[in-house]
Structure 1
Amino acid sequence: MTIDRRQLLAGMGGAAILGLPLRSPAATSATIGTHEVLSVSDGNLVLPGAFFFDGLPQDEVDSILTPLNISKNQLEPPCNVTLVRHENRVILFDAGSGDGFMPSAGDLVDSLDAVGVAPEDVTHLVFTHGHPDHLWGVLDDFDDPVFADAEHMIGQTEWTYWTDPNTVSTIGDARAAFAVGAARRLEIIAERMTFFDDGEEILPGIMAHASFGHTPGHMAFEVRSGSNALLIGGDAIGNHHIAFARPDWASGSDQDPDLAAKTRARLLDKLVNEDIALLGFHLPDGGVGRVERKDSSYRFVAEDL
């Protein structure tokens, strides 16, 4: 696999890209065989630190966060949406937030434009899961599909969960709006949707990996060509600090914290043992990098080649 950071050429509509290293929200790319993988920004979230750190041993939390210069009070995780170009396909993994979730997010359409991709160019829209920052951008202000020409794809388990009318009453008060928002959007795009299960090759060279826990049917995706591979991780590994240093700790960001911790440990182990790169939705520097292991902990190393 080769990874580079490329500067967009001003004044050329984003279509021409120079081979110059630069950290940019829409400039991180990787090549896996004939698949070109780009990380494009949907902006960032703004979350209270308590969302991640309440209930954890605070002294150990401090020892993890301080070297990374991360505040316990407020976090602003990036939202890295994955775009894959392969043959005649333009594949988008997740739809971002749209303008209905947080004012700091919802930049996806502009970021796609910066790399020369219009919404009508997208041939396949694949969802990792149904949380707002991954799903709500599927509709515009008039409730019309943003990616109107794309085949929409989601794991069967995730679809069943968010379209179940009982979900809103069982998900908990803090996430009830997530359930209402997901159900409404999925109903509108239902006729466009196709479904897949764990282990299926959903498109050539792209396999679905069940990574349940963050949501009941969360999916990650392995892009592979021979021995070269990259995992589109969604939120299965949801940050570059606690999730790597103590993957066994439960996280308030996960709907099933215990299952999510087991999934996280399994994926981190797989990424190290099989030398697979990672593109994480909320990881820094565009989210593309490698996982390194030290004893029972890990660390994320952004690639910049």
Structure 2
Amino acid sequence: MRFSRRNFLCGVTALPISATVPKFALAQLSIGTAKLSTVSDGTLVLPGSFIFEPMPKDELSPLLNEMGVSSERLEPECNVTLYQDGQNTILFDVGSGPDFMPSAGALIDSLDAAGVVPEDVTHVVFTHAHPDHIWGLLDDFGDLVFTQATYMMGRHEWDYWWDAETVNTIGDARAAFAVGAKRRMETIEDTVELFDDGQEILPGIAAFATNGHTPGHMSFEIRNGSDSALILGDAIGNHHIAFRRPEWHSGSDQNAVMAAATRRRLFDRIVGEKMKIIGFHLPGGGIGRAEASADGFRFISEET
């Protein structure tokens, strides 16, 4: 099947949508004297083809069956990372907001249950500008939600979505992504702080490029004392095929070749250094670690 915006949207709307039930604070861990948590923005409901379309079907089917994953319908969690160090309250991404999917957009309720109101947030740091990561910037009335926050995005990612030609070159399936990103970025144009690969953007938080899912996708290493964790965003976008076959191309990635190479580098690092990881779409709140297995890798959740 040729992937297009039309059959993506038809695939989504044909799937029954479950009522959103926020899970609030899903998982947490201590990073030195600071606290790192995930809070739920709900889930996405996607046709399996959104990820699986480019993969070898004869090898894919037995893997999905083994792991109990549907080839037709996926409902990945959306886990927004919240970092609190006693001085700063930092969100990594802001979820979908009210305009993307009925099953998502639960971030504000989840933050409230965790004792955080939007005015408490001092910084919003974006991994990338796909709808489920940036559309929550605005509320139902088109106003900024996190009015006291400093907004931060990687320079390459900003330049890509800001470019007027992106909507014409990104492809029909993602044209609405480009329009939605640009609209939200316009609201923070005068105040956003841009950063580059390798930069320490805040005390103990370093950015590094994990390009491929989007052209300027960023991940973040957090260090506090002797503890560390890696915020992945969508650089490793699921707990099944991305772990078992990181070299396979995924339909969810804008540059599938680059994204596969990025995953391999990430697994080498996080397994070799035994790093804690936080993935936006990983299960159990998204916090855990990766282990090498006889057949690829596996995700070990640290759900609380």
Equivalent in the alignment of 1:94? 93
Shift of 1:125: 0.4
Deviation at 1:25, TM superposition (A): 4.3
CA contact (8 A) 1:25 1:286 kept: no
For 2:88, the aligned partner's letter is R
Cα separation, 1, equivalents of 2:116 and 2:71: 37
Give unpaired runs (5+ residues) of structure 2: 1-22
- 1:211: Cα distance to partner? 0.4
What is the correspondence of 1:241-280 to structure 2 with a 5 Å cutoff? 241-280=240-279
Following TM superposition, by how much is the alpha carbon of 1:176 offset from its aligned partner in structure 2, in angstroms? 0.4
Separation in 2, partners of 1:81, 1:49: 23
Deviation at 1:54, TM superposition (A): 1.5
- Helix, strand or coil at the partner of 2:285: helix
Instruction: Write the letter of the residue equivalent to 2:271.
Output: V
Which position in structure 2 is the counterpart of 1:51?
50
SS at match of 1:221: strand
Deviation, 1:304, is 4.4
* Contact 1:154-1:193 at 8 Å conserved across structures: yes
- Does 2:160 match 1:161? yes
Alignment match, 1:14: none
| Residues in 2 aligned to 1:59 and 1:93: alpha-carbon distance in whole angstroms | 37
1:68 maps to 2:53: no
1:142: how far off? 1.7
Within-5 A mapping of 1:30-45:
30-45=29-44
Counterparts of residues 101-120 of structure 1 (less than 5 Å): 101-120=100-119
Counterpart secondary structure, 2:219: strand
Distance 2:226 2:31 in 1: 9
Matches of 1:292 and 1:158 in 2, distance apart?
A: 30
Instruction: Give TM-score scaled by structure 2 length.
Output: 0.90
Q: Which residue of 2 aligns with 1:217?
A: 216
Q: Quick one: percent identity of the two aligned structures?
A: 59
Give the equivalent residue in structure 1 for 2:134: 135
Are residue 301 (structure 1) and residue 304 (structure 2) matched? no
Poorly superposed stretches of 4+, deviation over 6 Å = none
Displacement of 1:104 in angstroms is: 0.3
What are the residue-to-residue correspondences of 1:117-196 with 2, within 5 Å? Answer: 117-196=116-195
Q: Which moved more, 1:295-304 or 1:32-41?
A: 295-304
Check 1:299–1:25 CA distance in 2 against 1; reply closer, same or farther (3 A cut).
Answer: farther
Aligned equivalents of 1:62 and 1:170: distance in 2? 32
Tell me the secondary structure at the aligned position of residue 247 of structure 1.
coil
> Secondary structure of 1:286's match?
coil
Contact map agreement 2:24 2:114 (CA 8 A) in 1:
no
Structure 1 pair 27–52 and aligned structure 2 pair: CA distance change class (3 A)? closer
CA distance in structure 1 between the aligned counterparts of 2:45 and 2:161, rounded to whole angstroms:
24
Q: Which residue of 1 aligns with 2:82?
A: 83
- 1-structure distance, mates of 2:276, 2:67: 21
Q: Distance in 2 between matches of 1:260 and 1:40?
A: 26
More displaced 10-residue stretch of structure 1: 90-99 or 67-76? 67-76
- Count of aligned pairs between the two proteins: 283
The aligned amino acid for 1:204 is P
**Structure 1: unaligned runs, 5 residues or longer:** 1-23
* Deviation (angstroms), 1:59: 3.0
SS in 1 for 2:263: helix
Aligned to 1:205: 204
Q: Is the 8 A contact 1:228 1:276 kept in 2?
A: no
Post-superposition CA distance 1:223-260 (Å, at most 9, x none): 11344211110000000001000000010000000000
Cα distance in 2 between the residues matched to 1:35 and 1:200? 21
The answer on whether the counterparts of 1:167 and 1:179 sit within 8 Å (CA) in structure 2 is: yes
Q: What is the RMSD of the two structures over their aligned residues, measured on CA atoms?
A: 1.4
